[in-house]
Structures are given as structure tokens and as C-alpha cells.
Amino acid sequence: MYFCSMSLVKLTIKGISYSQTQNGAYALILNEVDGERKLPIVIGAFEAQSIAIALEKEIKPPRPLTHDLFKNFADRFDIVVKQVIIHKLVDGVFYSSIICERDKIEEIIDARTSDAIALALRFAAPIFTYKNILDKAGIYLKANPSDGDKSIEDEVLTNPETFGLEETNQSGNQYAKHSLAELHELLEGAVNDEDYEKAAKIRDEISKREL
């Protein structure tokens, strides 16, 4: 597979939001680095959780998740993920490739976009897509959307760091009665129990208190 670097556009992660259109799914929003467009990609709950944990440095799983295991395996055998490229969009499905290197030999591995991004975060590898894909699927999000014109992407801009919008709206009431010290204890317990969705809610409540 040949990649033309001239038409590649670098992306960064804006945030993750619970999908308002697909139950059990999340919307991963990628930013165009040198532009204003966003690339929304619907991903599953497990992959959203893995990406959220990689973004949130305070949450340390007691045992490696699948993507952490892949990273440990790659490190052991001197395999480096150099970059991830979202190279194709067909019928609303994004296709990605992981560019790896071992002993100065480069290999290209096909992957789901959510898995590729979860690994890119763990390897601190850049994420790219092609300009024509961004032209086709990229959107401009409104900074101050009106109540009557509010889409899932607008919601993501409002709360870019939340793990899930619906859960977060409930978590404020659920954990509001706890002290900051109690919240930190609950966070540690949730991580030890590997309940990362609960950990993300508690973390969000702690973040609001510490602003």
C-alpha cells in the first residue's frame, strides 16, 4: 500500500462523547491541526474506554488492557509504531493503517480506526488522514450553537473531555455529596476494580472541584 505524504493532514484528539444517535457507541472527535475542521468517528464503548484511559494519565489500570498488552509486546520485540493513517472512507466506515518499524524495516498493518488511535496514543505516534477524506467527512463545529440546532458534534465541543455526556450529567448528582478526599478514595477503588467508566465519572467530579 502506497501513501502519498503530500496530501496527508495531521490530526489531534479533541475528545470523546457519548453518541446521541447510536446506543452503546461513542463519538471520537479528531481536530485538524492546521485548520478548523473536525472529523467525528463513531467507536465502540471498549475502544472509547481504552482511548480515554490513555488520555487520562491519572487512571492507571492495575493490569494491562488489550492495547497496553500490545504496547508491551511491541516494546519487548523492538517494534515501534511510527504513525497511524486513516486512509479510506467507505459507506461511513473509516479504514486505517498502522505504520510500524522493526530493525529499520517498515511494515503496514491494517486496523480498525479506534484500535489504531488507541495504539497511537500509547506510542505517542502522530495521526494523519488524507485531505480528500477530511474534505468529504470533516465538519466545522459551531462554538455557540442555538438550542434548536444542537447536534452530537456540538455537544462534544461543549464537553470535550467528558467520557460520556449522559453519564456525566448523572455523575454530578451521584458524587456531589462526597468530599474531595472521599472522591479520591472512590477513584482508587474504581481503578482497582477495573471499573474505568465509573473512574472516569469520579475523575470528572474531582476535576470540577479542583478548578
| pLDDT digit string, tens, across residues 52-61 | 889 887 777 8
pLDDT of residue 163: 35
Which of 3.60.150.10, 3.10.690.10, 3.60.15.10, 3.50.30.20 is the CATH number of 7-144?
3.10.690.10
pLDDT of residue 169: 40
Return mean pLDDT, the chain.
Answer: 79
Identify the weakest region by mean pLDDT among 20-24, 65-69, 154-158.
Answer: 154-158
Contact 167, 18 (CB under 8 A): yes
| pLDDT digit string, tens, across residues 165-205 | 333 344 445 788 888 888 888 888 887 776 766 776 787 67
Q: Which long-range contacts (CB under 8 A, 24 or more apart) does 177-186 make?
A: 178/205, 180/206, 180/209, 180/210, 183/209
pTM score: 0.70
Q: Which residue in 122, 26, 19 sits closest to 75, CA to CA?
A: 122
pLDDT of residue 162: 35
Q: How many residues does the chain have?
A: 211
71 in the Ramachandran plot: left (φ > 0), alpha (ψ -120 to 50) or beta?
alpha
DSSP 150: -
